[in-house]
Structure 1
Amino acid sequence: MKDYRRLTEDEVLQLKSQSCLADDWGKVLVANGFNGEYVHHTRFSGEVKLGVFDADFTLPGGIRKHSGLRHVTLHNVTVGDNCCIENIQNYIANYEIGNDTFIENVDIILVDGVSTFGNGVEVSVLNETGGREVLINDKLSAHQAYILALYRHRPELINRMKAITDYYSNKHASTVGSIGNHVMIVNAGSIKNVRIGDYCHICGTSRLSNGSINSNVTAPVHLGHGVICDDFIISSGSDVDDGTMLTRCFVGQACKLGHNYSASDSLFFSNCQGENGEACAIFAGPFTVTHHKSTLLIAGMFSFMNAGSGSNQSNHMYKLGPIHQGTMERGAKTTSDSYILWPARVGAFSLVMGRHVNHADTSNLPFSYLIEQQNTTYLVPGVNLRSVGTIRDAQKWPKRDNRKDPNCLDHINYNLLSPYTIQKMFKGRAILKELKRVSGETSEIYSFQSAKIKNSSLNNGIRLYEIAIHKFLGNSIIKRLEGINFQSNEEIRRRLKPDTEIGTGEWVDISGLIAPKSEIDRLLDGIENGSVNRLKSINSSFAEMHENYYTYEWTWAYHKIREFYGLDPDKITAEDIIAIVKAWKEAVVGLDRMVYDDARKEFSLSSMTGFGLMEPVMK
């Protein structure tokens, strides 16, 4: 704790001579080394503590300003060392301000009553009318929010998670706000009940109310001109600029929102980007990206998603209100002018083209195209596996992870092929084979859910899913056996044995984290019975699942060898491994060839257009 002393009589006289006022000079305390020379036209009210004013600030354009107080009213404020605060039109009330902070030309900064600074705000995500509320907090991860929003069939779990968040919110509630070290706030409007972290840069914001800006030295937050935020939390490394308007929103780490983007009751997790358009009640998992003015995302759950211009959804059938919602699983994206009438569910890494109003559920047919022809949804299963765009997406996401904070809230698995997507392909392959059996091999069109599948598309889908399964299982086996010289089949079998039983059964993608459902259920049981009762403990469990992904993945792959290859892992031989690797090689080479052929289309002569200079004009 810093030592403070009362002002001397000479210091009081000096401050009075510099047009300073105080309701009670006895309540103005200063640090040792305080110099009143740099305090002018300042009014003190309540209990005020001042640090030293020894340093200069160098501003853009080369101008230098010495730290100090000029033209400001302070009420119950602690000012750290070497701060410069000037030209505050109204006042600063009930704040602790860190060291080396610069505040200039701001309307008002205050805390009014007890505030939780955005913690505990209920965000009505997915269902606009309520029922899936997520209580936001500083440590909110995409996975924690996923459970709060979607596990409503476990009311005791939801009550416990709400209680955990309430405990955190009340623990951090205060009548005094904080502005961290090395913060810059210039040309801003009203800032009320907002906690501001270290190295935050606020320039030209219009209004900030009831929120936390969790900036830090490794991942500063920037808030720019015209920004309006009410009931919000903004995580480290994010940039909110250019007239963005947020109401009851959580912004995750390294997000970028700008160009008049507006959002209400929405959650944006790591590396999301929102520009120009509008969001309402969306759950934007990691890497949800929308850039266009004409794009509305509403009542949907997304992740690794790119929204084409004019992409829209409806959560309203004009009967019972905006009660519907939908899901686009990881990697799904939309083309320009696409439309989906919720409820619907789009499978992972699928592409949506046209208008779809028949509420299809294609979650077990990943990597598909959904194409509209004459108001009918046509499904092309598995075709996105051979798209160069899918490969490009998978490569770009890890490179575009802009998180600098060493404490990552979201645990993101970037794998294109994982137990999660491969289990869907097993189901999809079985669905397509069953359609073929029931409707006959010669049928021109097959019906699935409310979509149509052409005969050629169905057969192609079965083939593509089998290629992907060969590739995944082959990858897993090669990785397990590589770098070891085996002397016998028994040695191979011993090496193939999983290190743990965890990983069998169904896998889930909880907004970026891919994990066995059994492990998620174990965590949820722990929350329900009270053995897991802190946000930190919940996030640690997610981190552990993420770290053990490849161990769990092998357990799952090992048990699928019997199902797919018809081999007993306890009796497998070197010859069997050679056959599997040969099938893997054919799958990899075949898939690569298809991807190259797809890429080649963009460079065909028929799609090329010249953009050279005009012919020289004859003199």
Structure 2
Amino acid sequence: MNEIIKRPLNALGYNFIDPPFLPAGKDEYHLRNLQNRNGIEYRNLTAYEIEALVRNNNTSDDWTKILVSDAFNPELVKNCKFYGLVRIGKLEPVYLEYHNVCQPVGLYNSTLISCDFGDNVVIKNVNYLAHYIIGNEAIITNVHELHTTSRSKFGNGVIKDGEEEDVRIWLEVCNENGGRKIMPFNGMLPGDAFLWSKHRDDKLLLQKFKEFTERRFDKQRGYYGKIGDRTVIKNTSIIKDVWIGCDAYIKGANKLKNLTINSSPEAQTQIGEGCELVNGIIGFGCRIFYGVKAVRFVMSSHSQLKYGARLINSYLGNNATISCCEVLNSLIYPAHEQHHNNSFLCAALIMGQSNMAAGATVGSNHNSRAADGEIIAGRGFWPGLCVSLKHNSKFASFTLIAKGDYASELNILLPFSLISNDTSNNQLIVMPAYWFQYNMYALARNAAKYIDRDKRIKKTQHIEYDFLAPDSINEVFSALDLLEQFVAIAKNGSEMNDPDDFITAVGKKVLEEKKLGTTDVFAFGFENDTRPVKVVKVQQAYDIYKQLIVYYGVSQVISHIQINKINSFEKLIESLPAKPKRLEWHNIGGQLIQQNAVDSLLRNIKSGSINSWVEVHEFYRKHGQLYKTQKLEHAFASLLELLNITREQFTPALFKNLLQQFLEIKEWMVKNIHDSRAKDYQNEFKKMVYDNPKEMDEVIGALEDNVFIQQQTEELDTLKITVESILERFQLLEVTTDLPN
């Protein structure tokens, strides 16, 4: 039976805070008065104003509870019912226009309960508006229900005085069984979500994270909802317990409940038709349109949900877009793209710069026994059309997966690989360094695209978008070792129980001397199946991996020279790290941070040296500032390790040679960028839908007009000039060089 409560009409709008939870010496408005910062001085109504309000068919339980500013105009209030303490700012005989819709300033045809209004607001046809503080020049029209309860948390994972623990909102990210659940809070960054979800065996650390979150919010009951200046809300059904920033635009939503909607003049958030959003945090500059359903979620700034997307128990990183599909129990880093109605993502940690193709089903437990599996994918994850993966699976950075059903768990350790399912021969095929051989255009263009699309106003976390960075380069080094081991086993029949260093040395000799020939190479430990895992294009991948390390290392040294205006080789050596180390790095929400720094952060949190999320965010900011220097050290150490030399052996002749290699690699990359795009213009099946080349150019653009290819060519030309300048300044033009081993 529904519990319908009867109370006296003259009590409507009062006793917002239940007496047991009202602090001693405080009235029910004490928090409201702290929240209202509009600076308006309110006064009581005059007899004339009350008469005018009554004449305009307005009613109030107590006219002394209506307070107004000196610039209040009672003629602009019509057909309204007032209950409780209502405070109204300036009302002038003007109209407000937004998106070609014009509305006269004033309060019309609405029921208003215990609210504060700023200057020159439009409130029209709001059936029920209670316990809100509304900013200046806000427009709210045709809303059925807009109110705040005394226990509102505005989407944050906290509880109020007197509430039971079971009402707390958790996000069950990465795993469907709730074993990695986190408490959402306004301002939560991707790194926060990762750290909290990852270290589940450290109970003290988890308790600290919970305390950090609870200390951000007051447990007192009685906070009002707020709607910021110039926010427009129209044709919306239910808004309950929602905090809305300024300059937001909400139109045609079905239900918004228990939310924080961040918005600002520089980063306006919009919510459109048919959306139903419950228990969430929405970042600055977000776009949510057309039938979206989201429950228990966090959207970081400048992310988008569109066209019926469903986002449940998930964290969506900055500058990401999800359309049409379903995403459950996932932690998604910045720059994620998922646009297709029949793609599905569940129980996954996706580490950024990712793209989900149509028909991809990733992280589903439909082919497992229980809801406790996970998918972990490094940066640049791209499952292709109709890919079905079984959890648990794990993928190195920039893994592309070809169409197919992958019935067994995968652990792909080679970065930049293409994975394909050869069902005719019952084997898994892994092509390492695929992107650099066949689709350099897409790899390079995506890196540039993500930088352009990063619209964050406040860049607390430094997000790495370059495909060559400490995380991927460390994976390249591991991949070199693996390829050497696989080759040794394939070529010389080395036994698996031989020491790793022996196997590696045998395989390295084969690959360095390019004596692999047509020998088939197979990987071990990549698939939870007895069928073979064949690694193809091994020699090419091995050579490319080494070139990438050279390119990465030299590019960072060149950047260092340019930024610091270094004019001699001696000063360069002096400025480079004395004892460079290629340390381990972690991807913390899209920000790459050295493992020792992360370990220190966690120790400091547990010891109490770091005692809030603000301090954790300061750690991110500090290490973002250190990143360029640390990346240089990593790059220089990578160069020395690849060449198997010490810092003292880094000579002018070697540096000159490396600069020449760098330009050759860059030329090869630019050529591959051009050629991989040119294939679309040369393929007869691509061309057959056009009657002639002119029609093709009009439809897809001429190859020679491709802006990205032009940019890459210009970048190459600039680098040639830069290298020539360095050689001249460093007096290396006459230095003779021998190619290093």
Compute the TM-score of the two structures, normalised by the length of structure 1: 0.93
Match of 2:408 among 353, 358, 369: 358
Task: Name the CA shift for 1:287/1:247 in 2 (closer, same or farther; >3 Å).
Answer: same
SS at match of 1:282: strand
**Residue 470 of structure 2 is aligned to residue 419 of structure 1:** yes
Q: Tell me if structure 2 keeps the 8 A contact 1:69–1:84.
A: yes
Task: Name the CA shift for 1:574/1:96 in 2 (closer, same or farther; >3 Å).
Answer: same
**Pairs within 5 Å for 1:439-588:** 439-440=490-491, 443-451=519-527, 452-454=532-534, 456-482=536-562, 483-486=565-568, 490-497=570-577, 504-588=582-666
Task: Name the CA shift for 1:111/1:398 in 2 (closer, same or farther; >3 Å).
Answer: same
SS at match of 2:559: helix
In the TM superposition, residue 557 of structure 1 has moved relative to its aligned partner by 2.3
Task: Name the CA shift for 1:15/1:425 in 2 (closer, same or farther; >3 Å).
Answer: same
Encode CA deviations 1:139-165: one digit per residue, 9 max, x unaligned.
111111111111223222221111111
In the TM superposition, residue 455 of structure 1 has moved relative to its aligned partner by 5.8
Task: Name the CA shift for 1:49/1:565 in 2 (closer, same or farther; >3 Å).
Answer: same
In the TM superposition, residue 243 of structure 1 has moved relative to its aligned partner by 0.6
Match of 2:120 among 82, 97, 102: 82
Say which is worse superposed, 528-537 or 419-428, in terms of deviation. 528-537
Say which is worse superposed, 128-137 or 567-576, in terms of deviation. 567-576
**Residue 422 of structure 2 is aligned to residue 346 of structure 1:** no
In the TM superposition, residue 171 of structure 1 has moved relative to its aligned partner by 6.3
Say which is worse superposed, 506-515 or 168-177, in terms of deviation. 168-177
Let me know the Cα RMSD of the aligned residues. Answer: 2.2
1:97 alignment counterpart? 134
Give aligned-pair identity as a percent: 24
SS at match of 1:156: helix
Higher strand share: 1
CA distance in 2, matches of 1:414, 1:297: 22
**Pairs within 5 Å for 1:176-325:** 176-302=224-350, 303-316=352-365, 320-325=369-374
Task: Name the CA shift for 1:583/1:239 in 2 (closer, same or farther; >3 Å).
Answer: same
In the TM superposition, residue 19 of structure 1 has moved relative to its aligned partner by 1.3
SS at match of 1:134: coil
Task: Name the CA shift for 1:29/1:455 in 2 (closer, same or farther; >3 Å).
Answer: closer
SS at match of 1:115: coil
In the TM superposition, residue 197 of structure 1 has moved relative to its aligned partner by 0.5
Encode CA deviations 1:473-493: one digit per residue, 9 max, x unaligned.
12123333454332xx65443
Tell me the amino acid that sits aligned with residue 106 of structure 1. Answer: V
**Pairs within 5 Å for 1:378-389:** 378-386=429-437, 387=439, 388-389=441-442
Tell me the amino acid that sits aligned with residue 428 of structure 1. Answer: A
CA distance in 2, matches of 1:467, 1:502: 20
Tell me the amino acid that sits aligned with residue 484 of structure 1. Answer: I
Say which is worse superposed, 555-564 or 367-376, in terms of deviation. 555-564
Encode CA deviations 1:27-66: one digit per residue, 9 max, x unaligned.
1111122111111111111111111111533446856432
Tell me the amino acid that sits aligned with residue 399 of structure 1. Answer: D
In the TM superposition, residue 231 of structure 1 has moved relative to its aligned partner by 0.2
In the TM superposition, residue 457 of structure 1 has moved relative to its aligned partner by 2.2
Q: Tell me if structure 2 keeps the 8 A contact 1:480–1:495.
A: no
Say which is worse superposed, 271-280 or 448-457, in terms of deviation. 448-457
1:617 alignment counterpart? none
Match of 1:333 among 382, 392, 396: 382
1:432 alignment counterpart? 483
2:63 alignment counterpart? 25
Q: Tell me if structure 1 keeps the 8 A contact 2:190–2:590.
A: yes
Q: Tell me if structure 2 keeps the 8 A contact 1:481–1:496.
A: no
CA distance in 1, matches of 2:86, 2:332: 43
Task: Name the CA shift for 1:34/1:481 in 2 (closer, same or farther; >3 Å).
Answer: closer
When Rg is computed on C-alpha atoms for both structures, the one with the higher figure is 2
Where does structure 2 lack aligned partners over 5 or more consecutive residues?
1-38, 158-168, 492-515, 693-741
**Pairs within 5 Å for 1:28-67:** 28-54=66-92, 56-59=94-97, 64-67=102-105
Q: Tell me if structure 2 keeps the 8 A contact 1:182–1:198.
A: yes
2:509 alignment counterpart? none
Q: How many residues align?
A: 606
Q: Tell me if structure 1 keeps the 8 A contact 2:306–2:322.
A: yes
2:503 alignment counterpart? none
CA distance in 2, matches of 1:271, 1:455: 35
Q: Tell me if structure 1 keeps the 8 A contact 2:144–2:237.
A: yes
CA distance in 1, matches of 2:571, 2:272: 62
In the TM superposition, residue 571 of structure 1 has moved relative to its aligned partner by 4.3
Tell me the amino acid that sits aligned with residue 434 of structure 1. Answer: Q
Task: Name the CA shift for 1:60/1:462 in 2 (closer, same or farther; >3 Å).
Answer: same
